[in-house]
Amino acid sequence: MVINPGNPTGQVMKRKDLEDIVKLCHKYSIAILSDEVYQENIYTESKKFISMRKVLHDLGEPFSISVELISFHSVSKGL
């Protein structure tokens, strides 16, 4: 389970950390549940949200075809 950005702090995970999670899940055949509900609630312009889907896609094969990803988002949390 990955919660990015965090609530209530608006903390945003670094791309390297997200990549490390994908690689670990690939190694051990673990599905990723990515809670990205608060992606609109980042309180500083110096940090940018990067979705787990984008990281998984950018890493390419074998990660993009073997790691299962379930991503959560909701309109209600960003309004």
Q: Identify the segments of the chain with pLDDT beneath 50.
A: none
- What pLDDT sits at residue 79? 55
Where exactly are the structural domains of the chain? 2-78
Q: What is the pLDDT of residues 8-27, one digit of tens each?
A: 777 899 999 999 999 999 99
The tokens describing 10, both together, are 């608006």
Residues sharing a CB contact under 8 Å with residue 18, sequence separation 6 or more, in sequence order: 2, 4, 50, 52, 55
Question: Rounded distance, CA 28 to CA 33, Å?
Answer: 15
- What pLDDT sits at residue 69? 96
Computed over every residue of the chain, the mean pLDDT equals 89
- What pLDDT sits at residue 9? 74
